[in-house]
Amino acid sequence: MKGRKPEDLRSLPDEELKRTLLDAEETIGNLRFQHALGELQNSAYLSTMRRDIARIKTIIRQRELERGRETSSK
């Protein structure tokens, strides 16, 4: 499976982005469990999910920093 593109993630509202992060973290937990049991078919999907989680967290943090700049400049 392919990872999600940053442009697609940036177009999501904050609520949906956080929901996507929770889903991705749950998915990676399940994948790690499958990997530990030796049942994981595609181990490369683990790194894809890790990158997706990092992208989502980065976008959330960027938005937080932008909001901080907006309030401090007023």
Spatial CA neighbour of 24 closest among 32, 38, 35, 39: 32
28 neighbors 57 (Cβ within 8 angstroms): no
Domains and CATH numbers, the chain: 14-72 (1.10.287.310)
What pLDDT digit, counting tens, does each position of 32-54 carry?
999 999 999 999 999 999 999 99
The pLDDT of residue 74 is above 80:
no
Indicate the pLDDT class of residue 1, thresholds 50, 70 and 90: low
pTM: 0.87
Q: How far is CA 33 from the centre of its chain?
A: 19
The pair of structure tokens assigned to 43 is 């181990």
